[in-house]
Amino acid sequence: MSRTRILVTVVLGLALAALFTWQLHRERLVKACLASGGAWDGGGCGPPSLRPILRRDLQRS
């Protein structure tokens, strides 16, 4: 194998490892959020949101 091919393989392997690590970190954040009773909105943990039908019924009363 040439030196360039080995370098490309190492760089791609490191990038793949970084993506797997990031995915595991996000999964842990989501699980911790759901376990605490929150709702994950993609960027962070917040209070659970009401479904649209429940929200409409609450606004009427």
Query: What pLDDT is stored for residue 51 in this prediction?
Result: 65
Alpha-carbon radius of gyration of the chain: 21
How far apart (Å, rounded) are the C-alpha atoms in residues 28 and 40? 12
Which residues, including other chains, have CB under 8 Å from residue 33's CB and lie 6 or more apart? 39, 40, 44, 45
Q: Is 3 helix (H, G, I), strand (E, B) or coil?
A: helix
pLDDT < 50 positions in the chain: none
CB atoms within 10 A of CB 38: 15
Query: What pLDDT is stored for residue 58 in this prediction?
Result: 58
